[in-house]
Structure 1
């Protein structure tokens, strides 16, 4: 997820939290994986009390999220990044410049169209939804409660709401999601060419290296199988800018914000697919809140500019 910073008072807490070498080191460690306070203290050779003070500062600034989790000796405080990228700019107060205060969160099960082939399935916090490897259950009404889904080939499509007003244009859109390939069971070496489309325009293809099941996902509910099952994905950010489309800062295509401008009141369809003629037809798994390693849905952030 991208965190936007400006010259407002809310951003001041972030700047203050970042003005510390130990806190920057903590963020570096959490970028690798979620960690407990004790693990952070051991990694930095600090006392747990000292780390707790720094963690509180980072949590107050909204840079990390801490939640209780089971440990070897009872409950522990597990810390994870709330954002893995920052973008800052100076904004005019007149409202005539760019705005970055528009965002939305789309639950994994809230797709509006789909066509999938097995292996496939969906799950919510309490259980799987229907029978596994049966595409018919992608139409089940319980899918709206789904926070993880997977398929070997095909697509899911979501509707991104359009908040543009007359006289405004889309200058940039960032789409953050946790995803990986989909192998039968799991397989860390299972490449998949995952395609992204926005507003009918192809954004590009990203090759995911595998379907990760080597260790249990931090957020997975207790009932989720620990063996021979996908556990977590990679957090990726697809950014459509005025210069082109990028994934984690690496250019995917020349498709720019100009190519995906929606008409007033028209939504933006987002399609995530694995095409049958792809070089690596390795499926896709999408994680939402409560599954995988990142406690988030498909997160969308907009930048709007005057026409």
Structure 2
């Protein structure tokens, strides 16, 4: 997750100005803890710890849910992100000039094949009927801010703005997602597979489907007993492999995707089915899939702008290099 060091991000940056909050991050890095457990470890009152939790939740660093304990309900806290990268440069560097970024609404998929439980919601109402895959083809699906499916996939198109001899050296996709359980269940693992340009780049095990506390941006009309938010994750396909929040998922590299500028020549790479990559000189496909035969067939929930804990769509950045420029230099 890349964070520009600007005044707009002060709520997040301020979280690191407190020794107590940094210690909370250390503790939650080991395992989820309740407010009571954190208070005991920090030797503070639960009321003080609750204020720290609320600030860190608002900044997107923590998530919490109400769970049943031995003495009634308790608030269980978890880290929402595994890593952060702070960007200090206000002027675009050479590296930033050799990149572009796009934002894709979660409802703007171009292909799908889903199985119940499934559904779509705008920021104002449900789109069609729940658990009826036919509504994923309804023209109103482009307005979806939240969608979910128990098995199958949705596929998006990332525009290919490369020209001449430029080639991709890194693609990063940041999105808010969780697994898909009936209602919600924080302990509902799901093997979520990602494909770029027809190439399976890696599978990440999502820990659960989160609810109990309304998402920061989840609309009031949404059922409190349904999933409320996801985890903000960044998938990066780089020159040295594929990573999720900096942790390696696979050895697939950006070169393996075979993505180049439209009209360029050269040998296509092959995808995971052995066919020529569909990304050669064309838009770049992004498929998010939960297979019914996976070890953890837990489905997918996607949250976009106006839903969940992060008011954002699927954010994609593409970094590229130019072989002709390298030769001249």
TM-score tier after normalising by the smaller chain length: 0.7 to 0.9
Partner residue in 2 for 1:274:
290
Residues 240 and 187 (structure 1 numbering): CA distance in 2 closer, same or farther, change over 3 Å? same
> Are 1:26 and 1:40, in contact at CA under 8 Å, matched by a contact in 2?
no
Residue by residue over 1:125-169, the C-alpha shift from the partner in whole angstroms, topping out at 9 and shown as x without a partner, is 110000100000001111111010000000000000111121212
Which residue, out of 96, 114, 117, partners 1:116?
A: 114
Q: Once the 2 structures are TM-superposed, how far is the Cα of residue 286 of structure 1 from its aligned partner? A: 0.3
Corresponding residue of 1:147: 145
How big is the shift at 1:170? 1.1
Task: Tell me if structure 1 keeps the 8 A contact 2:304–2:313.
Answer: yes
Spell out, residue by residue over 1:2-58, the C-alpha distance to the aligned partner (whole angstroms, 9 max, x if none): 24x6xxxxx7x57x979xx956337967989xxxxxx899539xxxxxx9xxxxxxx
Unaligned runs of 5+ in 2: 29-47, 61-79, 263-281, 324-329
- Once the two structures are superposed, the pairs formed by residues 130-209 of structure 1 within 5 Å of their partners are 130-209=128-207
Asked if structure 2 preserves the Cα contact closer than 8 Å seen for 1:2 and 1:176, the reply is: no
**1:271-292 C-alpha deviation (Å, 9 max, x unpaired):** 0000122101110000001111
Aligned equivalents of 1:294 and 1:2: distance in 2? 14
TM-superposition CA deviations, 1:177-211 (whole Å, max 9, x none): 00001011111111110000001111111111111
Secondary structure at 1:142's aligned position in 2?
helix
2:304 pairs with one of 282, 285, 288? 288
Contact preservation (8 Å) 1:118, 1:152: yes
Asked whether the 8 Å contact 1:240–1:246 carries over to 2, the reply is yes
Q: Is the 8 A contact 1:98 1:305 kept in 2?
A: no
Which residue among 16, 40, 43 is the counterpart of 1:24?
Answer: 16
How far apart are the structure 2 equivalents of 1:230 and 1:143? 19
Q: Over the residues paired in the alignment, what is the CA RMSD in angstroms?
A: 3.6
- Summarize the alignment of residues 184-263 of structure 1 with structure 2, pairs less than 5 Å apart: 184-227=182-225, 229-263=226-260
Please list, as runs of the form range in 1=range in 2, the aligned pairs for 1:4-15 lying within 5 A after superposition. Answer: 13=6
Structure 1 portions without partners, runs of 5+: 6-10, 33-38, 45-50, 52-63, 66-80
Between the two proteins, the alignment pairs up a number of residues equal to 258
Change (3 A) 1:165 1:217: same
TM-score under structure 2 length normalisation: 0.69
Give 3-state SS (helix, strand or coil) of 1:230's partner: coil
291 and 94 in structure 1: CA distance in 2 versus 1, 3 angstrom threshold = closer
3-state SS of 1:162 partner: coil
Q: Any idea what SS the aligned residue of 1:144 has?
A: helix
Residues in 2 aligned to 1:103 and 1:141: alpha-carbon distance in whole angstroms = 26
Corresponding residue number in structure 2 for 1:56: none
